[in-house]
């Protein structure tokens, strides 16, 4: 079983004071102004490179880094190896040909990220993203088959889910490198929905003995979206640009995610009423949603910058901020 790890982050004294005075707030791995929404700092693990720093402790999940900017493909490649080993140790027989696709995707992405030539980066990142997409679908199928055999209080499928999340984060970061921030934002919302759905699945697996109340919650999930404002109009709207279509889909996905999160809250409240333990996996998925929110805010900030994503990441890695923040 994976457990949240408490990690030290060092922030400039003025940032720490802003947090203490409630001027700033932490969302995932970013710190932003509560009033303007502007990101003022990106948390960097163990960073003591600036003078007059203060330490804050944050629990990271096993599902990813604190920020999208610092979740580079070197980290993802190493994380892939770690998860793959755990899957094998748990007795899962992996198809070497299928696993090689996602492994090649991470290796190509890592090489692309290290190159200084942007055109080479783009070409290689597109090739890598295709492999990651195919690998993600394979891992998703493995996960969804494996979870059918999960026991009420033992979820052996969770490491497979971690592999799905990792591959999806690789795809999201690839889109950012290509400057396709709107698609990256949409993929983040899709990933958020998938994590919420998985949390509901695990809750349902825990409570399969009490079908009377959990069935109506599942019915609500599928009926309620019909009443989300704008969804019906979305189907008939004439789009003038691809960008506008993506924007509408992002908006719709956000509304659906709000609904599913609310439904998950109802589910958890009912479990607590019945004195059913909340599975660790569900709690970690919920905790990681906070980091997903941070990734979304990052993407919105990067869209405003005239420089490529690689340069943005280097700047954040060096200073914890971007020019103009």
| Predicted confidence (pLDDT) per residue in 201-224, tens digit | 898 888 765 545 555 555 555 555
Residue that terminates a domain, selected from 14, 29, 60: 60
- Within this chain, do residues 294 and 209 fall inside the same structural domain, yes or no? yes
Residues 155 and 286 in one domain: yes
Tell me the residue range of the domain where 45 lies: 5-60
The pTM of this model reads 0.88
pLDDT at 294: 96
Please check whether residues 92 and 16 belong to one and the same domain: no
Decide if 173 contacts 64 (C-beta within 8 A). no
pLDDT, residue 322, reads 87
* Portion of the chain with pLDDT greater than 90, in percent: 54
Q: Is residue 231 part of a domain?
A: yes
pLDDT of res. 191: 97
Examine the domain organization and report whether 248 and 281 are in the same domain. Answer: yes
**What percent of the chain is predicted at pLDDT more than 70?**
85
Q: Residue 133: inside a domain, yes or no?
A: yes
Looking at the 3D structure of the chain, how many domains does it have?
2
Contacts of 276 (CB under 8 A, 6+ apart): 206, 207
Residue 235 confidence (pLDDT) above 60: no
* Co-location of 265 and 177 in the same domain: yes
Q: Residue 76 has what pLDDT?
A: 95
Query: How long a stretch of residues is the chain?
Result: 325
The answer to whether residue 321 is domain-embedded is no
Q: State the pairing for strand pair 24-27/5-12.
A: unpaired
| CA–CA distance, 317 with 65 (Å, rounded to integer) | 13
Asked if 77 and 54 sit in the same domain, the reply is: no
Q: Does one domain contain both 35 and 174? A: no
How high is the pLDDT of residue 58?
84
Q: Name the band, by pLDDT with cuts 50, 70 and 90, for residue 231.
A: very low
In a domain, 109, yes or no: yes
CA distance 189 to 180: 15
Q: Is 21 a member of any domain?
A: yes
Q: What is the mean pLDDT of residues 291-300?
A: 96
Question: Do residue 223 and residue 151 come from a single domain?
Answer: yes
pLDDT tens by residue, 12-58? 889 999 999 999 999 999 999 999 999 999 998 765 555 667 888 88
């Amino acid at each position: 079983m994976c457990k949240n790890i408490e990690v030290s982050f060092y922030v400039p004294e003025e940032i720490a004071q802003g947090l203490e005075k409630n001027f700033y707030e932490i969302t995932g791995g970013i710190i932003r102004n509560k009033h303007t929404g502007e990101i003022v700092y990106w948390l960097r693990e163990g960073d003591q490179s600036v003078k007059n720093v203060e330490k804050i402790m944050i629990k990271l999940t096993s599902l990813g880094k604190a920020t999208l900017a610092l979740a580079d493909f070197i980290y993802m490649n190493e994380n892939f190896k770690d998860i793959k080993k755990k899957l094998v140790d748990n007795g899962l027989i992996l198809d070497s040909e299928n696993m090689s696709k996602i492994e090649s995707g991470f290796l190509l992405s890592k090489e692309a990220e290290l190159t200084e030539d942007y055109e080479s980066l783009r070409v290689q990142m597109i090739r890598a993203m295709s492999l990651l997409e195919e690998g993600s679908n394979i891992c998703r199928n493995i996960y969804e088959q494996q979870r059918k055999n999960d026991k009420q209080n033992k979820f052996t499928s969770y490491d497979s889910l971690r592999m799905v999340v990792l591959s999806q984060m690789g795809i999201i970061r690839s889109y950012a490198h290509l400057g396709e921030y709107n698609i990256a934002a949409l993929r983040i919302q899709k990933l958020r929905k998938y994590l919420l759905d998985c949390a509901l699945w695990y809750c349902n697996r825990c409570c399969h003995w009490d079908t009377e109340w959990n069935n109506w919650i599942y019915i609500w999930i599928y009926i309620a979206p019909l009443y989300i404002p704008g969804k019906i109009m979305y189907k008939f709207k004439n789009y003038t640009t691809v960008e506008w279509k993506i924007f509408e889909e992002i908006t719709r996905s956000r509304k659906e995610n709000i609904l599913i999160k609310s439904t998950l809250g109802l589910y958890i409240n009912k479990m607590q009423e019945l004195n059913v333990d909340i599975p660790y996996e569900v709690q970690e998925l919920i905790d990681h949603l906070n980091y997903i929110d941070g990734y979304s805010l990052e993407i919105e900030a990067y869209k405003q910058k005239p420089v490529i994503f690689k340069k943005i990441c280097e700047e954040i890695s060096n200073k914890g901020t971007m020019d103009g923040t």
